Every structure is written in structure tokens, then in C-alpha cells.
Amino acid sequence: MCGICGFYDPNHRQRDGAALLGKMNAAQKHRGPDDEGVYLDGPVGLGHVRLSILDLSSAGHQPMLGGDRYALVFNGEIYNYIELRQELEQAGYRFTTATDTEVVLAAYDHWGEECQNRFNGFWAIALYDNQTQVLFLSRDRYGVKPLYYTEKPGYFLFASEIKTLLQDNNVPRIANDKVIFDYLVNGFVDCTAETFFDGILRLEAGCSLRLEQDGKKTHRRYYTLPYKETLIGEAGEQETEAFRHLFRQSVRLRLRADVPVGSCLSGGLDSSAIVCESSRQLREQGAKQMQKTFSSCYQGDPNDERAYIDAVVRQTGAEAHYTYPTGDTLFQDLDHLIYTQDEPFVSTSMYASYCVMKLAHENNTKVLLDGQGADEILCGYRKARVYYIKRLLSAGKLALAAKEIVRYLPYMRKGKNVSLLADLNMMRQFLGKSSSGDIRHRYLEGQFAKRRLTNSYADNERFLLNDFDRIVLPALLRYVDRNSMAFSIEDRLPFLDYRLVEYAMSLPLNAKISDGYSKAIMRRALDMPEPIRRRRDKIGFYTPENSWMAAHSAEYRAVFTSPDFRARRYIDPEKVAADWDSLTRGKDDIGLFRYICLEKWMRIFDVQTA
């Protein structure tokens, strides 16, 4: 796990490439504190900072050269590198390191760009072919590892993080109005190739770029998730066993490391299943010590999940570690959290993950397993249940729809954070209803409020795919990458093994939602304490956002009364300040934290408006 950066400059406009690469490496040193290097040759410059996970020796130094022809910088892990190396050895290749990086070089030489389809893992790759003077960039199937770029005629710049690109003083820091509108109104981020910085793009998941000396640029989608939604189908023991087998294989591959592997543990189904399965496998392997787990808890809060976390710890014998974020610590850390993320984020729940990663770093853990992806492939969100009921009604399955409604009603009424109103609002989006004129526009600047959203749930037949590749998962992957790498930690995601994803997405909806339970097949297939298996509520990395903001109400309100308020193009700060008391009491849910986060982001990164 590392940070990569570089440029492609056939016209040699970059006069001091070595100095630029040095600044870019320094800006993302947190991604790889163990080693760093640069490569310069003709039109290309490559930079790399290394977090040593496989082959901890200097043999894993990057940029890694493949003879006189190739230079590679690589961020990620190819979990099946051992199997690929054996296949490549049979084809005549010889290896001098125990790294997956060397396997990537040989795989590209042997299979060309088709090597992407043979990798099982996550990656961002930049490989320069000195013979053809082609720069090849690739991002993993689901976009777990980031890769950003910006370009001008004859000049292309790329990096693992946006702050790294900004080390080139020629890269403008201009806000992207379209992205900001989607963010403020619906809380959508990372939905497309565009970022909050106008002119800075992300290479999308499952895509590659090929740049040639004559200026030709080829963008290719090498992977598309196969999906055809089925409402009712087989969901018996055969399907359960297949799911169990694929999950166990995924965990086994993700335990491959030359350093200890720990786990995030929230007390929900996903992380609990991961901890239970990895603990089982570690025992089978004769591990001398059980894994460490890291959890975020809130003393005295009704949504604290310590009881569920402790149940997993008792069952597995894991070495548990806890962190206790507060409104005070958030206030102290917020600017660094925003700097870490590069772009605004939706809620303070990102801070729980940030604190967990910090805790793991303090306990000398460099690799963690985490549960991202399970909700998206197994209908884990409340909105998925609402969608399923809607589909049943549309298909005339009235008895089954009524059964699911009855089983789900007690859950829909439970607690202020899980409300029927929230579900009805989501149904409104499913039906394609416009949100114009609602509360979320009231505090926007007048002209800006008239814009139209570019992302929604109105495309009903793409509901699960929307969550997976546009609306939800891309943002979660950005959050966890930045939070983990800010503390030099590699975060591995067993539920995003492409074989498990493809199988889960092929299952009918009734395999995922049944008798009022989400993730039905997972509950049957995987080991976890029974109180967790029977849970119907979903909390995840919860944070008591309203009370946290109330603890520093005056300081947060001062953001909007400052004469240097930067986001005036988007937000009417006087209206926000005037209604501050009602907004902080939650009377009107406008996503107030998003307003604060946007303004602070513009200050921290010195972002201008067009």
C-alpha cells in the first residue's frame, strides 16, 4: 500500500521534474513512510512512497524497473500474486523479489493490458513503456484505490491524492459548482469522474488510460459488473454454501501479509463476520496471537454498540482496543480530517473511522480488514428494503409484500435515527419526484438554488448498481482510503473480492431480504454471535452529530458570521446564522454539517470560485 504520482510531458514543459516529484512525494508521505523513490526518463516522471506489507526488504523499492523497458509505480495489493507468479514462471519468467509489484510488471509484459482482468485485489497502477513511450494507468474494478489526474494540452499529471496534484502551482484550485450542488442538496459525492475541484478528475473504477507521445489518449472501461436484477429465485442451502465458500476464500487471500493483520469492529454484521472468520482461519494456521480489533464507542449513548463488540471479542479471543471520540476531539481534529479527505464529506460519521485508524496506528497495526461493500451487494440499507417492497407490489406479489411490511414495521418505528419519514423520503426519490422548493434549498444562495441535480435514484432499474457504482460505495471507499492512509494503514475489504461481488449481485432479491431481515443469505452463511445475527437495526460507525455540534455551537456559528466567508456563491450565511438555534436543534434537516465542511474545505485548500 503506497502513494503514487507522476507526469507525462512529451513537450518537456516541466523544467524541473525532480523537484516537482519530490514535493508530490512529500505531500503524500503518510501513504508510504517506509521508503520513497523517483524515476525520470524522457517525457515521463514517476514518484512513489512505500508502505511495506509484502517483502519488507529493500527489494520492494519503487519505482520498480523491468529491464531497460518498463518503470512501474503501484499502489495496492494483488492478492493472487502467488498463483500468478507460478503461472508466469511456467511461461519462463524469473523473479528476484517476493513482492506482488514484480508480478504486476511480468504480467503486463506477458499479457499486456489484459493483465488487469487476471488480478484479484485493488490497485492504482502507472506503468511507463520506454520502448513505445506509452504511459499506462489502471484502477481496480471497484475503485478501492484512488487515482486522480489533471491535464493541459501536452501535459498530464496524476497522483493518489488531490493534495498531491496541488503541489504543481499550475494546477488551479477552482470549485466545481455542479458537484457542490449535488453535495449540498442530496449529500451525493464521488458519483462521477468529476471532483470538487474543477478540472481535476478521478480515473473511474474498472477503467484504464493509455497516453502516447503524439498526444493520443485512450480511455477504456476494461470491467463492467455483470448484473440483471431478479426479484424472486433460488435462495437455499446451495446458494448459502456458495456464498460461504467465496467469503472464506476472500478472507484467506486478504490475510496474506508479512505484517500482522487486524480488523475494524463496529458490532454490526459485516465487521463481526470478518473478525469471526479471520480468527477461525488464524487458529487453523497456528497463529501465536489472535488479531487486534479496533472500535469506536460512545459512553452513555443509547446507540453505543459496545455490547455487540464485546460479544465478538469473547467469541474470538481477539485483542480489543477502543476509542471514544467526543464533540471536543472532533472540534480539535476537524481541519485535519478535512485536509485528510481532500474533498468535503457528508457527515461526522467519517470521524469515527478516522479515530479507529488513529487508534490502530498507535497500536502498531499496518493492515486492517474492514466491511465496506457488504451493504451494497446484500441490500443492507433501509432504502433497499423499501425498494424491495415497492418491487413486490409492482409485480403483484401482494402477500409477500404485506409480510415484509409487517415484519419491517417495528424496525421502521425504532429510534430517532431510524424513521419511517426517512424511508418515505427515499421512496419519493425512487418515484423520481423533484426536490426543488424543499428545505434543502432554503439556505442556498438564490441563483445557485435554481440549479438541477445531476444524480438521483430516479433510475429505478439501476437501484442496486446506483448504490454500488455511483451513489454510495465510491464515497465510502474514498473516506476509508484517506482515513486509513492518513495513519499509514492498509485497509482490506473482503466483501469486495470480485468473485464474491459478482455472485452476490447475481442472487435474487429474496436471497438478500427475507422475513424483515436484510443480508439474509449472509446471516445464514457466516459465523457471528447470535445476538448480532438476529439484529435488524443498522448503526455502523455512528456519531452523535447533533450533540457534538451543540457542544461547540458558538464556534461553528462563527463560520457563517465571518467576514471572510468563502462559500457565499453557494450558501446564504446570514440566513443560516439567523436560524442557527433551530438548525442545531435539528428542527429543519438541511444537512448543516455539509455547509460547515464545505466552507472549511474552501479555506483549508484555498479554493476559489469561478
Domains in the chain and their CATH numbers?
2-221 (3.60.20.10), 237-378+472-533 (3.40.50.620), 382-464 (no CATH), 552-604 (no CATH)
**Active-site annotation holder among 2, 355, 379, 597:** 2
For residues 59 and 568, give the distance between their C-alpha atoms in angstroms, rounded to a whole number.
52
pLDDT band at 458 (very low <50, low <70, confident <90, very high): low
Please return the burial class of 53, using the count of CB atoms within 10 Å of its CB with bins 0-12, 13-18 and 19+: buried
Residue 248 has pLDDT above 80, yes or no: yes
* Mean per-residue pLDDT, 428-446: 66
Contact 452, 435 (CB under 8 A): no
Task: Tell me, yes or no, if 2 is annotated catalytic.
Answer: yes
pLDDT of residue 428: 58
* Mean per-residue pLDDT, 268-292: 93
**Cα–Cα distance list, 505 to 243, 500, 516 (Å):** 11, 8, 20
* Mean per-residue pLDDT, 344-357: 96
The strands making up 148-152's β-sheet, listed across from edge to edge, are: 35-41, 44-50, 2-8, 155-159, 148-152, 201-202
Fill in the DSSP letter of residue 425.
H
pLDDT of residue 437: 44
For residues 152 and 160, give the distance between their C-alpha atoms in angstroms, rounded to a whole number.
19
Mean pLDDT of the chain: 92
**Cα–Cα distance list, 437 to 332, 440, 455, 569, 577 (Å):** 36, 8, 17, 19, 20
pLDDT of residue 560: 97
For residues 552 and 545, give the distance between their C-alpha atoms in angstroms, rounded to a whole number.
11
Task: Average the pLDDT over each of 77-81, 266-270, 409-413, 425-429 and give the range with the smallest value.
Answer: 425-429
Helix/strand/coil for 202: strand
Secondary structure of 388-401 in HEC code, one letter for each residue: HHHHHHHCCCHHHH
Task: Average the pLDDT over each of 97-111, 158-172, 455-469, 576-590 and give the range with the smallest value.
Answer: 455-469
Cell numbers of 109, please? 509484459
* Mean per-residue pLDDT, 416-429: 51
Residue 438 has pLDDT above 70, yes or no: no
Residue 427 has pLDDT above 90, yes or no: no
Residue type, 566: R
pLDDT band at 417 (very low <50, low <70, confident <90, very high): very low
For residues 113 and 231, give the distance between their C-alpha atoms in angstroms, rounded to a whole number.
36
**What secondary structure does DSSP assign to 448-474, as a single string?**
GGG---S--S--GGGHHHHIIIIISHH
For residues 396 and 376, give the distance between their C-alpha atoms in angstroms, rounded to a whole number.
26
Secondary structure of 298-320 in HEC code, one letter for each residue: CCCCCCCCHHHHHHHHHHHCCEE
Over residues 377-403, the pLDDT tens digits come to 999 988 888 889 989 999 999 999 999
pLDDT of residue 392: 94
For residues 14 and 45, give the distance between their C-alpha atoms in angstroms, rounded to a whole number.
10
